[in-house]
Amino acid sequence: MTFEELLAFAQRHPLLSLALVGITVALVFTEIAQLFRGYAGLRPAELVALMNRDNALVIDLSPSGDFEKGHIAGSKSVQPSQFDPESKQLAAAKALPVIVVCRTGMTAGASAKRLKKAGFEKVYVLEGGIQAWRQADLPLVKGRRG
């Protein structure tokens, strides 16, 4: 296929060409944004390995009721409105890997960015949140403590 053929196709199908350009720009933007967000995403199996290998701290941002219905063993419940990277509890964990977890993986990113700004070195987010954890058939603990 030559450039002239591609140009002719674009002229005959402007909407398809515009859609292709839009999707390409969105994909490039998304990939670049992930490179500069400051934290990494983890799959459930990677989270388990990090907890076992490096004694990682897991922060669960789920509402209290959801946390009590099921959470990752050893995780600490913190309400998003009370999340403070400068708190004494979290400040002691600056050198540890910290994994931020929410129900779906959609809201943990903002808290992870705050941790990076506060000087935490190893910050992660569980991709897909507790839902991904359940889909991986990994156990959850019920009650108030992890």
| pLDDT per residue as tens digits for the range 125-140 | 999 999 999 999 999 9
| pLDDT per residue as tens digits for the range 43-63 | 999 999 999 999 899 999 999
Q: Record the pTM.
A: 0.76
Q: Say whether pLDDT at 87 is over 90.
A: no
What is the DSSP-derived secondary structure letter of residue 146? -
Element (H, E) at 22: helix 14-35
DSSP 56-109: -EEEE-S-HHHHHH-B-TT-EE--GGG--TTSHHHHTTTTS-EEEE-SSSSSHH
Asked if 130 contacts 103 with a C-beta cutoff of 8 angstroms, the reply is yes
| pLDDT per residue as tens digits for the range 10-33 | 999 999 999 999 999 999 998 887
The CA distance from 126 to 133, in Å, is 9
Q: What percent of the chain has pLDDT over 70?
A: 99
Q: Say whether pLDDT at 35 is over 80.
A: no
The CA distance from 97 to 74, in Å, is 14
Coil vs helix vs strand at 116:
helix
Q: What is the mean pLDDT of the chain?
A: 89
